[in-house]
Amino acid sequence: MKEFRSYPIAFEGSGFDYFKIQIVNTILTILTLGLYYPWAKEKSLKFLYGKSTFEETPFVFSGTGSEMFRGFIKAIAVLVVIYGLFFYLVLQGHNGWGILVIYGGLLALVPLAIHGSYRYRMAKTSWRGIRFGYTGNRGELVKLFFKGIFLTLVTFGIYGAWFTISLRNYVLGHVRVGNARFVYSGDGSDFFWINFKGYLLTLVTLGIYSFWWQKDLFEYYVNNLRLEQEDDAVFFRSTATGGDFAGLMIVNFLIMIFTLGLGYSWVVTRTMAFGANHIEANGYYSFEQLLQSQAEYSDATAEDMADLLDFGFVI
Amino acid sequence: MEQIATTALFYDGYSARPAPVRVVLADGRLHLHDPYDDVFIQSFPLAGISHNGVGRYHFFYLDPQGLVYLKFEEDHPLVPQLLQELSASQRGWASRLMRQKLVLLIPIMLALSVGLYFLLVGLVPFIGLRLISRDSEITLGNKLHAVMMEELSFVGSTPDTAGTYRLQAFAKNLQLSKEYPIRLTLVHSDIVNAYALPGGQVVVYTGLLHKLKTPEALAALLAHESTHVNSRHSMRSLLRSSANGLLVSVVFGDATGISGALAGNLENLSGLRYSRSLETEADELGMDLMRRNGVAPQGMVQLMKTLQTVGDMPSELSFLSSHPLTKTRIKRAEQYCEKWSTVPANTRLQHSFDALQEAVAEVED
């Protein structure tokens, strides 16, 4: 008989430890005139993953600075080509073509960067020695992305909610950990109403409702996620309230202001701990059934591209 | 040989189900044995092992990917020695720095930031000015000029063709630049304004021209603006602030900052704001330029005093970017003039000046 149980989630990193890592990263980044950046990222991610635990077992990030450095060079090369072509066309007087190249080029990079960065990040994430993986298809994601962009444009942005959820369903639905799979079952119209209500009430309450809006968004993200293997499943549930979010965000804001940004490390660890403390996992699954099934993948080009284009990892 | 043997949980990287193992630390390696029949399983060099202590446990990862690992209880007898030997085997700058105290690390970081700042602020303009050719500066300036002339109509101003012709005729009496074609445009507007674009485009507003009572003051204005062009002040400001942006992105490891800083500063090219030191340089070299053209440098003092009386100025006004016009700048100009004997009035300049003022007055009527 399967037992319904809950799985503890925690983040145990201290802001002080993370701050020290950031200081050492900064010193080495300056000494190398910025070239240390990928190794700095490795150190930060290893810390944040290593202090995040599920069932008292930490996650492992095994990406390396040298992989991300090679990826960084390739990503820069792609951007140089796009920007170079743009400046060439504009200086030749073909402004229209130039703008087409720069917007079209950068836009086309977005789904490629999402796909590639998920592949890299998941292949480099493990838990209990079992690798994560991303099994999405690049062509399918590109199609989904451009269809979404097109429909969002012709509906003056209204389709944006459905677009976001379709990407999320696709991307998160192709995340694996060993032989278990994640499933995300979001619905565009639910997401639309959350945002519609959130936007209106935030306006009416002069911004105060934004914490409750944030709570709804977080809840929608977490509660629609589950992990499945055959008949077993683990469900995730948010326990955060709007008041919790207000506390987190206001204090984070004050830390940033009064430390002139130096307190950023504490903002990160506080936020991580907040997430861990406000997600519950319950289910029937015994993680001892997990088997290594996902392939190794070490090309970090897209991961670096996502950094360069400045969009977060999370969809 | 000293050996410590004890049991731990072993995760093999194939399944998430752990198995108990007997661990022996000897010869700089961890040896794993079956706890029941003591059969040897595998051994791992300490140099390739990494550690993470979290919650009530210590995790020792045996492979670079962190898939194969040992889990120890917090108070396990092997942990202290293992940690000590691991820390001794760790090399590399990052681990060495991580062993230092924050009181040492923070001053190092601050000193390096300041050092890098001076390096970049010196180096970037030095290299940049050699990389950007004068021709491309002129092309860029012309493009900016064309855009700005188009935008004039939105604020209800127009280029004054007849006045521009007269202003150019006035400038023909002076040699303003050896390297750049100085091209002047007179804009019909009440705004008291004048600015120089990179590569030689200089724009003067009639609102400013009206305030100038002598040809020397106008010559001073043109000499000042031409110095911005000749000394490539826009490029220098652009490169200097790009260096600042570069510093920020290096320190904060934010790669987008570089392109962001460049984009932000391209705006400054048309925003035409110069630092106080560049303005002072434009005053001084401008007066040198006036003297070489046989024009009394006192015109600069007249120009400054005239502008000082003007109330609200557009913030992008090049001549007044250190607004309000500082007394130091006037004083310096006066001191400069004292060093040189008075130059006789230039009649040709006076003639062109009168023609210009007439042409502008006609349009106004």
B160 and B226, same domain (yes or no): yes
Top pLDDT among B191 and A5 is at: A5
Quick check: helix, strand or coil at residue A314?
coil
Q: Please check whether residue B44 lies inside any domain of the structure.
A: yes
Query: Which residues lie closer than 8 Å to B329 by C-beta, 6 or more apart?
Result: B279, B280, B283, B304, B322
The pLDDT value given to residue B197: 87
Give the closest of A24, A28, A60 to B61, CB-based: A60
Q: Where are the alpha helices (DSSP H) in chain A?
A: 15-31, 37-50, 65-91, 95-123, 138-154, 160-173, 188-204, 210-223, 242-258, 264-277, 301-308
Q: Which of B56, B10, B14 is nearest to B33 (CA)?
A: B10
How many whole angstroms separate alpha carbon A180 and alpha carbon A182?
A: 7
Read off the pLDDT of each residue in A264-271 and give the average, rounded to a whole number: 94
Please give, rounded to a whole number of angstroms, the shortest distance from the CA of B66 to a CA of chain A.
6
B229 and B153, same domain (yes or no): yes
Q: What is the DSSP string of B114-159?
A: HHHHHHHHHHHHHHHHHHS-HHHHHHHHHHHHHHHHHHHGGGT-EE
Which tokens in the block code for residue B49? Answer: 């092992």
B249 and B360, same domain (yes or no): yes
Last residue of a domain, one of B98, B125, B159: B98
Residues of A with Cβ-Cβ distance to B57 under 8 angstroms: 56
The pLDDT value given to residue B258: 46
B216 and B315, same domain (yes or no): yes
Place of tokens 């836009």: A107
Give the count of alpha carbons within 13 A of A135, CB side only: 16
Cβ distance of A129 and B54 shorter than 8 Å: no
Query: Which residues lie closer than 8 Å to A80 by C-beta, 6 or more apart?
Result: none
Q: Please check whether residue B111 lies inside any domain of the structure.
A: no
Q: What is the ipTM of this complex?
A: 0.90
How many whole angstroms separate alpha carbon A208 and alpha carbon A201?
A: 9
Last residue of a domain, one of B47, B70, B98: B98
Confidence band of A146 (pLDDT split at 50, 70, 90): very high
The pLDDT value given to residue A88: 87
The pLDDT value given to residue B4: 58
Give the closest of A26, A58, A296 to B54, CB-based: A58
Give the closest of A26, A290, A296 to B109, CB-based: A26
Residues of A with Cβ-Cβ distance to B243 under 8 angstroms: none
Taking CA–CA distances from B11, the nearest residue in chain A reads A129
The pLDDT value given to residue A313: 59
For the ranges A16-25, A103-112, B189-198, the one whose mean pLDDT is highest: A16-25
Distances (CA, A) of B226 to B176, B240, B291: 6, 20, 14
B358 and B266, same domain (yes or no): yes
B82 and B139, same domain (yes or no): no
Q: Please check whether residue B110 lies inside any domain of the structure.
A: no
Read off the pLDDT of each residue in A105-115 and give the average, rounded to a whole number: 90
Q: Please check whether residue B31 lies inside any domain of the structure.
A: yes
Q: Please check whether residue B348 lies inside any domain of the structure.
A: yes
The pLDDT value given to residue B100: 85
Cβ distance of A26 and B253 shorter than 8 Å: yes
B287 touches B340 (CB < 8 A): no
The CATH number covering residue B83 comes to 2.30.29.30
Q: What is the DSSP string of A244-266?
A: HHHHHHHHHHHHHHHTTTTTHHH
Q: Which of A108, A115, A116 is nearest to A79 (CA)?
A: A108
Distances (CA, A) of B230 to A47, B201, B202: 53, 11, 12
Which tokens in the block code for residue A253? Answer: 């804001």
Asked if the model's pLDDT at residue A152 lies above 80, the reply is yes
Q: What percent of chain A has pLDDT over 90?
A: 70
Place of tokens 């020792």: B60
Low-confidence ranges of chain B (pLDDT < 70): 1-5, 248-274, 310-326, 363-365
How many whole angstroms separate alpha carbon A117 and alpha carbon A124?
A: 10
**CA–centroid distance for A250 within its chain:** 22
The pLDDT value given to residue B108: 92
Range(s) of the domain holding residue B247: 134-364
Q: Model confidence over A158-178: pLDDT tens digits? A: 999 999 999 999 999 999 999
B251 and B352, same domain (yes or no): yes
Q: Model confidence over B35-68: pLDDT tens digits? A: 888 899 999 998 889 999 998 999 999 999 999 9
Q: Please check whether residue B106 lies inside any domain of the structure.
A: no
Residues 122-141 in A contacting B (C-alpha not used; CB under 8 Å) = 126-131
Cβ distance of B250 and A30 shorter than 8 Å: yes
B176 and B320, same domain (yes or no): yes
B144 and B79, same domain (yes or no): no
Cβ distance of B97 and A309 shorter than 8 Å: no
Distances (CA, A) of B239 to B117, B125, B129, B134, B265: 13, 5, 8, 15, 9
Last residue of a domain, one of B54, B81, B98: B98
Long-range contacts, stretch A103-109, CB < 8 angstroms, 24+ apart: A106/A82, A106/A309, A107/A149, A108/A142, A109/A78, A109/A82, A109/A305, A109/A309
Q: Which of A29, A150, A48, A114 is nearest to A306 (CA)?
A: A114
B75 and B170, same domain (yes or no): no
Cβ distance of A10 and B55 shorter than 8 Å: yes
Q: Please check whether residue B215 lies inside any domain of the structure.
A: yes
B308 and B357, same domain (yes or no): yes
Buried b (16+ CB within 10 A) or exposed e, B231-262: ebbbbbbbbbbbbebbbebbbebbbebbeebe
Q: Please check whether residue B117 lies inside any domain of the structure.
A: no
B161 and B310, same domain (yes or no): yes
Number of domain units in chain B? 2
